[in-house]
Amino acid sequence: MKKILIVDDEPNIVMSLEYTFKKKNFEVYIARDGGEAMQIAKENLPDLILLDIMMPDVDGYETLRQIKDDASLRNTKVVFLSAKNKAADIEKGMQLGADKYLTKPFSVKKLVSEIEELLN
């Protein structure tokens, strides 16, 4: 069973994504900010991290830096899912090492297919 960590501080998005990925037989973990995300990721070594950028405490960009600096997480697939939709934001996310960058609002169907593609 593939493991996914959803990192977002918006309860409605988290609930929707958790439901969707559990239905697709993923083991789902939830974090509300970057600090919590790193702790959960180190403990559970997810196959993919779905990461928001704008969060309290540690933002998504810094969280991605920490993921890439951690030997046990470095090769984990990371998909940014953010309302930040300017070209500069997307470019920054990709330069930091994200595998994909999708903007909110998003199509759940497209998100699922992108993630399944990344993990196969």
Omega prior to 11 cis, within 30 of 0: no
Residue 71's contacts (CB-CB under 8 Å, 6 or more residues apart) are: none
Q: For residue 86, what pLDDT is reported? A: 95
Tokens 């470019």, residue? 91
**For residue 100, which amino acid is it?**
K
Residue ranges in 6-59 assigned as alpha helix (H): 11-23, 34-44
Pick the CATH number of 3-119 from 3.90.1300.10, 3.90.850.10, 3.40.50.2300, 3.30.1360.10: 3.40.50.2300
Q: For residue 98, what pLDDT is reported? A: 97
Question: Rounded distance, CA 120 to CA 117, Å?
Answer: 5
Strand partners, 103: 82
Question: Rounded distance, CA 77 to CA 57, Å?
Answer: 23
| CB neighbour class for 55 (10 Å; exposed up to 12, middle 13-18, buried from 19) | buried
Q: For residue 27, what pLDDT is reported? A: 98
Q: For residue 56, what pLDDT is reported? A: 87
Q: For residue 57, what pLDDT is reported? A: 87
pLDDT < 70 positions in the chain: none
pTM for this entry: 0.96
Q: For residue 31, what pLDDT is reported? A: 97
Domain ranges (residues) in the chain: 3-119
